[in-house]
Structures are given as C-alpha cells and as structure tokens.
Amino acid sequence: QDCRNRHRECIREHARARPPSVAMAEAATEVGHKRPLEADVKEGHPAEPSARREEEEDPESRERDHFYDVCWSCFGYRDDALKEVARFQALCNSLSPEDMAIWGVDVPQTDSAMQMGIEMNSRFLQILPTPEVCGAYMSQRQEQDVFSVPIGHRIAGRNMSKVRTTLRQFVRDWAAEGQAERDATYTPLIQALERHLPAPALGSGARKPRVLCPGSGLGRLPFDLARLGYAAQGNEFSYHMLLGSHLIYNRTQQTNCYMIFPFLLSSVNRKGRADNLKSIKVPDVCPCLSLTADCDVSMAAGEFVSVYKDQKEEWDGIATAFFIDTAKNIFLYIRTIAEIVRPGGVWTNLGPLLYHYSDVENEISIELSWEEVRPAICKYFNIVEEERRNASYTMNSGSMMRTVFRCIFFTAVRNSEPVTGKSNPVY
C-alpha cells in the first residue's frame, strides 16, 4: 500500500509539471470538422469558453478549457460511434434483397454486437477523465465541471480522432495482444540500456540510473524500466495519453479488469466477418501490484523542451520510442537532449521520421532526412550502435493491411562537447 501511494504521488506530477502554455499550443493545432454532442449533458454548466472572453488572456483559464475539451471528447465517443452504426444500417438498406441474401449478414445481430462494443468502449472512456491530471488550478466546482458536458458543446474532430487512437494505444502498451509491438520497439531500447547503462539489482541500495522516456504515451516503457532497476520517468504532451496512464498507474487494482473493443469501427481490411468485434482486456500487468517498494517511476506532463530545458546533466539516459519526429524543429530536441544528459550518459532511440506536424496547416515542421539529422546528433554524442529495425504502431494484428516502419535504431554516448547555439521559438 505504501508503494502504491508513493507512485500515486509521483504520477500527480502530471498536474505539477505541465506548463500552462503547453495546452494552448496543443489546442492551437486542433483541426477537422466539429460534431454536435447530444448525450451526457447537464444543465447549469458554466458558459462555453467563447462566453468567457474576459478570461481569454488567463493561461490558467485556457489550460482548463483545453483540459475540459479533452475530457468531454471521452464522453462524446458514444454519439460519434453510433453514427457508424447508422451508416451500417443505411448501407444494408441500400442493397437489394438478392445482394443481402448473397452477403448473408445477420443485420440485427451485427447491429447489436456493434452497439454492445460501443457501450463498453464508452463506459471505459468515461472513467478516464479526472481533475487530478489538469495542469491548472481547479476549484471544487471546476472539478465537477470535468464530468458535465455543456449543452451545445461541439467536439473538435482532432479530439474525437484522438479518442479512437487512445483505445488502440491501450492495446500497444497494456494488452497481451500488444506484446509483439512492444518487443519490436521497447525491447531494443531496454536491451541497449542494459548493455551501456546497466542498473543495479533491485533492493541492493545502489544508485539507480535516471532514465527519461519522452513521448511515453500510456507509460509502459518507464514502467518496464522501473521494474528492471532504473529510476524511470515518462514525459507526455497529450492529455488523452496522460488520462490513460493515470488510470492504469493510480486507479487500477487488478490485471485484465477492463474490456475494450479498439478496432470496432474499422470495417475495412478485415479477413474475418467479426474481426473488428474482437475484445481486448487491459492491463496485462497492474502497476499497483507489480511495482515493489524499491521501484522508482514517475510521470511528468508537458511539452518536452519546456519541461526539461533547465535540467542540465541531470539524466543518465534517454530512451526515445517513436518520439524525435514529433518535433517541430528536431535541432531543438537534439540540443535539449544533449543539455540534460550527463557526459558519458546514453541516448537510445527507435522510430521513423514521419514528422508529426508535416500535414498540419500553418504549423512549423522542419522535415530532415536521417542523413541530415545524424551529424547534428554526432556533434554531442558518439553513436556506438546503429541499424534499421522494423516496427509497427498501434497495428491491428488481424488486419489485411499492415504499416511497417523501417525505423532508425541507435545508441549513442554523450561526449564532452558543450551545447551551443539556439533555435527560434516554435510555439
């Protein structure tokens, strides 16, 4: 119980470490059409952000507004998903009796299965929001507002898309079905740290190497490192991910206690009729049960550079999985990593160069090749391992389509070169 309480306090760094400006920057990237929300609405909720214009210059207020938008998108999943059921019914109605006979689908049974899956997903998503994760101060009334969607509130299309990807992310990080992806992505990083920055045995009392995992998603990589004897910290920018990791770390008491249907709305590239109706149970391991009193794991919320830029030489290691291409300017990431890793420290990386902001209108996105990125890394690090590794990301293993990234995997040791120069602001 003492260990569980300590980890609960560590994870509350979600709120303490998240700079108010971060959510504003993330909110500014919201794109896509808006959908009306019709369910889970309570009357008497405070006015929408547009009606609180006098607070627009208050970073705390804007942080809360962004947090509300993310939480309310979790409550909006049911209505959004039911549109897919309506579309399925309309498609069935558009077919002739002869075509329906050839197809042989049991429409009422399929409709019922989809609605059941939607309800299970909705119940799961509605337990994600918690005021504890918000990076801004919240009064008791404001905390209650997290669970009360205002009448007429419209959810940004980007937020609704993130809700669906969050379900798939739970498979990647916290389901037995995601083990293959974790083996391809996290295992090489863990093994590299064990080779070049070994941790002492748990319970030995020796100092644990401090390892940072930026872009840690739902927090599986720092969890696995902590169990191996590292003092691991995850860092995440997305409130959807932070809410998910908070649930797993702090509010989950047993394994496989949640059932979700992460691929329910994916009707294309199915091999079997019911492939999209497959249920997944999470988590495959429970941090509250698996982390011993000697384990050291924490989470910090916020944009990577903003949170860590002043932590000079405080880290022994960095493990980045599918992270460096989330940079608007990758040189800024490289300088920051070089600044915070001590001389002799280790940086291990595995991921593509997809560049997160490359297709976001009016956003900075410096998109370099590996040939161009490598010299910038070598200014501050000596690369001791480098190869291509195949890896997937939130893949449906039963799908007929598979995206495989030929990732850059490297391990590098920090040299003694002082960090010089600076980048222009990107937020």
pLDDT of residue 56: 54
Could you give the C-alpha distances from 59 to 12, 21, 30, 72, 216, in angstroms and in order?
A: 20, 7, 18, 20, 25
In which region does residue 394 sit, left (phi positive, over 0), alpha (psi from -120 to 50) or beta (all else)?
A: left
pLDDT of residue 59: 87
pLDDT of residue 42: 35
Q: What DSSP designation does 329 have?
A: S
What 3-state DSSP class applies to 397? coil
Residues 266, 271, 273, CA angle at the centre, nearest 5°? 70
Q: Which residues contact 90 (CB under 8 A, 6 or more apart)?
A: none
pLDDT, tens only, 172-206: 999 999 999 999 999 999 999 999 999 999 999 99
Q: In b/e form, how buried is each residue of 127-145, taking b as 16+ CB within 10 angstroms?
A: ebbbbbbbbbebeeebeeb
pLDDT, tens only, 230-257: 999 999 999 999 999 999 999 999 999 9
Could you give the C-alpha distances from 412 to 38, 200, 327, in angstroms and in order?
A: 52, 21, 19
Those residues of the chain that have pLDDT short of 50 are 1-47, 51-52, 54-55
Q: Does residue 111 contact residue 91 with C-beta atoms inside 8 Å?
A: no
Tokens matching residue 395: 């893949």
Which run of H or E residues covers position 337? Answer: helix 330-340
For residue 401, the one-letter residue type is M
In which region does residue 203 sit, left (phi positive, over 0), alpha (psi from -120 to 50) or beta (all else)?
A: left
